[in-house]
């Protein structure tokens, strides 16, 4: 079977400044005979900050942490930082 969940919260600090935090988890029972490196489950957490200085322009920064486990029990994790620029014409 598959068991998973996701939760998020968005907060508006000011009219032009907002943040969102999220958390998710997934546990997957692989079928008998599945490859030992098949995905078995994981977690993901993120937090961001977005700034809209003027209509049509949004700038953002996000930190994301992921962890995974595969069928043979090996685990791995990673963290990344992303910058986003959106310009509407």
Cβ atoms of residues 2 and 28 within 8 Å = yes
CA distance 1 to 30: 8
Determine the pLDDT at residue 40. Answer: 86
CA distance 76 to 43: 11
Determine the pLDDT at residue 28. Answer: 84
Taking only the tens of pLDDT, the chain with its 89 residues reads 889 999 999 999 999 999 999 999 999 887 777 777 787 899 999 999 999 999 999 999 999 999 999 888 899 999 999 999 999 98
pTM over 0.85: no
CA distance 34 to 84: 38
Cβ atoms of residues 59 and 53 within 8 Å = yes
Determine the pLDDT at residue 29. Answer: 80
């Amino acid at each position: 079977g598959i068991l998973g969940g996701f939760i998020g919260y968005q907060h508006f600090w000011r009219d032009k400044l907002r943040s969102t935090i999220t958390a998710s988890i997934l546990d997957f029972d692989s079928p008998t005979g599945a490859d030992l490196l098949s995905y078995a489950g994981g977690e993901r957490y993120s937090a961001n900050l977005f700034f809209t200085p003027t209509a049509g322009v949004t700038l953002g920064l996000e930190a994301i942490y992921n962890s995974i486990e595969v069928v043979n029990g090996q685990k791995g994790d990673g963290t990344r930082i992303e910058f986003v620029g959106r310009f509407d014409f």
